[in-house]
Amino acid sequence: MLTFIIRRILALIPLLFIVSVIVFGLILLVPGDAAITLAGGDAATRPRILLVRHQLGLDKPFLSQYVSWLGNALHLDFGRSLYSNQTVVSEVWQRFPVTLQIAGGALFFGLLIGVPLGIISGIRPRSVTDRAVVIGTSAAIAMPSFWLALILVLNLAVYRQILPSRGFVQFSTSPYEWFRHLLLPWISLGVLAAATIARQLRGALADVMSSDHIRTSRSKGLAPIKVVGKHGLKNASAPVLTVVGLQVAYLIGGTVIVEQIFGIAGLGTYVLTAITRDDLPAIQGSVMFIALLTVFVNLLVDISYALLNPKVRVE
Amino acid sequence: MTDVTPPGDPAPLLSVTDLSVGFKGHTETVTVVDHVSFSLRAGETLGIVGESGSGKTVSSLALLGLLPASARVTGSAKFDGRELVGMPPRKLRDVRGNDISVIFQEPMTSLDPAFTVGNQLSEAYRNHRGGSRRKALDRAAEMLRLVGIPEPQRRLGEYPHSFSGGMRQRVMIAMALICSPKLLIADEPTTALDVTIQSQILELLKSLQAELGMAMIFVTHDLGVVASVCDAVSVMYAGQVIEESPIDEFFSHPLHPYSAGLLDSMPQSVAKGERLRMIAGTVPPPSRFPVGCRFHPRCKYVVEACTTTPPELDSVEGDRKVRCIRHAELTLEVAK
Ligand SMILES: Nc1ncnc2c1ncn2[C@@H]1O[C@H](COP(=O)(O)OP(=O)(O)O)[C@@H](O)[C@H]1O
Ligand code: SF4
Ligand SMILES: [Mg+2]
């Protein structure tokens, strides 16, 4: 198992290298003289242009720019924001917990709703409940999360005022208010995750339930809860895990929009602001961070995959 | 009924009467097994023989309620004084794996790939007998030794993928017998295996049966196997029993043209160099069972009446039965 994990981590190195090239290459997309544009375009003052040019190393050849950028990045140094003058890492680190709470809560919501739905429809494909689940999840998958967020805000926060429409409260300040403020973001993002997980589990479980070894389990006299809960779910969990890994990437992307709608200052807002202000170090640093996060989650998925499936470990 | 029970003997262990199975389709229910009856006593072996698609597996699974939800089962199957057809699921679970066990035709896929062999064996034991994990694993190791798997302690910790087909079937047998059932249903247990492994598994089943004294229903399409294992045989064709007989009489003079055809196509009854005589044609699918005698499109002895009148299962010679309108006039010779 340990060698499996090490092999997986080593396999990530080329991937991360490619990501770093792309992230650094963002600078090529900056129109005109990058230093002038990033310093504020027409409004840029001469000293500021020189400062930006020097800070980003734009006065050096491209390759050496990349090498020194990568060298710093390996030490988790992405430079300073062109606006706040704080280090990008400290700003990202400050914003990340909020986003983690939104995305993590949404994933939890997705599992909480998606897994039971997947089970009840997967054990009886084509039954009435199954058809209802299929229709419901199709609708949920087709529905954009920003649209769902707006409808929820309008109904529950604006007209009925049951829940707050904006803002964020730290858990340490008030767990109750924390929950109330995060509930709508969680649902807006989590419905898609729930529907996707339910559909994947439904398909996987239906396949497993018609397999020979499930017939064996039943022929031993096991109760349905054991047959489905132990033998069914463990065999159906691998494809579901893959989907959960993909959902994490979608959820992190989705927080960008949801943070805007609910006025929460998380990583998504940070990236968006950085982009509108052409704050290149901030963009590079946060995108790299999100890429690392996604890769890390997928590594966890791979490892759990191997834990669940004895054959993967051998190969 | 295959009355292998001489008069005055105790009641049979299992007595199946008019067992029918239909599958609910989109428009209609297709009857796949049609009024099947047979019985066997404790310790005996009944062979159920027939070509692929004749309803052998469906009949055996119906006994334990293991068919998919679309199946409609009617008739009666009395086991040890209890009626299995229509038995509430909770009660039926006490029978499965405990009083009656099954081993299947597909050793490669019948074990759960996600759990160790030890886990699956001890689970079968604890489900009915309870007790500690430790004790169940000891019992599991004992069973693996019994079915001839070397180093049982070590192999308990392995997953099915590290076992060969023959070894997996041994594991299945160990699992089926772990609660000492009174009846083992073996559904073509050797069909998917290599010839040399086939005979090993067969020998193993025979010796285990002698040792444990259980009854066995041996489902197969191979009459050679029936000759070496069974006390009586029940031949199925197109969802019906067409002949039932004690084993010796069956092999010396079969009563049904289909049985005679099966015997003729056994490799043993064909002289060296001669071609295997197969019965021409195949078993029709349940939706297209012929009118009259279901075997008539393939029968050498067919007459006009066969195509219109469905034959009854008639008793002959006391303890034999046959479903053929011409059985009294035909003398079927089997090449020796
Ligand atoms: N789940 C099912 N639904 C519909 N028809 C089935 C099902 N299972 C088996 N059958 C049909 O029942 C017939 C008998 O099958 P089976 O008992 O498996 O034959 P055998 O074991 O003698 O080869 C076949 O025609 C098969 O197509
Ligand atoms: S009833 Fe007729 S067709 Fe059927 S087996 Fe007898 S002789 Fe052949
Ligand atoms: Mg079969």
Averaged pLDDT for residues A255-272: 93
- The least confident of A77-91, A116-130, B90-104, B116-130 is A77-91
pLDDT: is A45 or B306 the higher one? B306
Residue B272 pLDDT class (50, 70, 90 cuts): low
- Please tell me if the CB atom of residue B118 comes closer than 6 angstroms to any atom of ligand 2: no
Which atom in ligand 1 lies closest to the alpha carbon of residue B25? Answer: 4
Averaged pLDDT for residues A203-219: 96
Averaged pLDDT for residues A209-221: 97
Rounded CA-CA distance B29/B13 in Å is 31
Q: Do B112 and A216 touch (CB under 8 A)?
A: yes
Nearest chain A Cα distance for residue B312, angstroms: 34
CB contact set of B327 (below 8 Å; sequence gap of 6+): B255, B256, B314, B316
- The least confident of A49-53, A184-188, B32-36, B92-96 is A49-53
pLDDT at residue A239, as a whole number: 86
Does B303 fall in a domain? no
Q: Do B109 and A212 touch (CB under 8 A)?
A: yes
Residue A51 pLDDT class (50, 70, 90 cuts): confident
> Which residue, by CA, sits nearest to atom 5 of ligand 2?
B324
Does position A83 have pLDDT exceeding 80, yes or no?
A: yes
pLDDT at residue A47, as a whole number: 86
CB contact set of A276 (below 8 Å; sequence gap of 6+): none
pLDDT: is B60 or B279 the higher one? B60
Averaged pLDDT for residues B158-175: 96
Does position A30 have pLDDT exceeding 80, yes or no?
A: no
Residues A191 and A198: beta-carbon distance below 8 Å: no
Residue B140 pLDDT class (50, 70, 90 cuts): very high
> Which residue, by CA, sits nearest to atom 1 of ligand 2?
B324
Does position A17 have pLDDT exceeding 80, yes or no?
A: yes
Q: Do B64 and A219 touch (CB under 8 A)?
A: yes
Q: Could you give the residue range(s) of every CATH 1.10.3720.10 domain in chain A?
A: 94-314
* Structural domain containing residue B129: 110-180
Which atom in ligand 2 lies closest to the alpha carbon of residue B296? Answer: 3
Averaged pLDDT for residues B18-42: 94
pLDDT at residue B142, as a whole number: 96
Rounded CA-CA distance A92/A75 in Å is 15
Q: What mean pLDDT is reported for chain B?
A: 92
pLDDT at residue B336, as a whole number: 56
Does B115 fall in a domain? yes
pLDDT, tens digit, for every residue of A92-146? 999 999 999 999 999 999 999 999 999 999 999 989 999 999 999 999 999 988 8
pLDDT at residue B66, as a whole number: 96
Of chain B, the percentage scoring pLDDT greater than 70 comes to 93
Residues of chain A positioned with their CB less than 8 A from the CB of B115:
230-231, 234
Of A215, A219, A314, the CB nearest to B97: A219
Which atom in ligand 2 lies closest to the alpha carbon of residue B256? Answer: 5
pLDDT at residue B331, as a whole number: 85
Does B135 fall in a domain? yes
Give chain B's end-to-end CA distance (angstroms, integer).
28
Q: What domain count does chain B have?
A: 1
Rounded CA-CA distance A278/A117 in Å is 44
Rounded CA-CA distance B187/B103 in Å is 6
Of chain B, the percentage scoring pLDDT greater than 90 comes to 83
pLDDT, tens digit, for every residue of A223-242? 999 999 999 999 999 889 98
Averaged pLDDT for residues B177-181: 97
- Please tell me if the CB atom of residue B141 comes closer than 6 angstroms to any atom of ligand 2: no
Does position B271 have pLDDT exceeding 80, yes or no?
A: no
Residue B270 pLDDT class (50, 70, 90 cuts): low
- By a Cβ cutoff of 8 Å, what residues of chain A touch chain B? 124, 210-213, 215-223, 226, 230-231, 234-235, 308-311, 314
Which atom in ligand 1 lies closest to the alpha carbon of residue B21? Answer: 12
Query: Ligand 2 pocket: which of B324, B327, B332 to mutate (most atoms <8 Å of CB)?
Result: B324
pLDDT: is B8 or A201 the higher one? A201
Averaged pLDDT for residues A170-177: 95
pLDDT at residue A314, as a whole number: 58
Does position A31 have pLDDT exceeding 80, yes or no?
A: no
Residues B229 and B205: beta-carbon distance below 8 Å: yes
Does B169 fall in a domain? yes
Residue B4 pLDDT class (50, 70, 90 cuts): low
Q: What is the ipTM of this complex?
A: 0.91
Rounded CA-CA distance A262/A158 in Å is 12
- The least confident of A154-163, B8-17, B45-54 is B8-17
User: Which homologous superfamily is A94-314 in?
Assistant: MetI-like (1.10.3720.10)
Rounded CA-CA distance B13/B25 in Å is 34
Does B175 fall in a domain? yes
pLDDT: is A46 or B298 the higher one? B298
- The least confident of B8-22, B260-274, B284-298, B305-319 is B260-274
Of B111, B127, B128, the CB nearest to A216: B111
> How far, in Å, from the CA of A229 to the mean position of ligand 2?
51
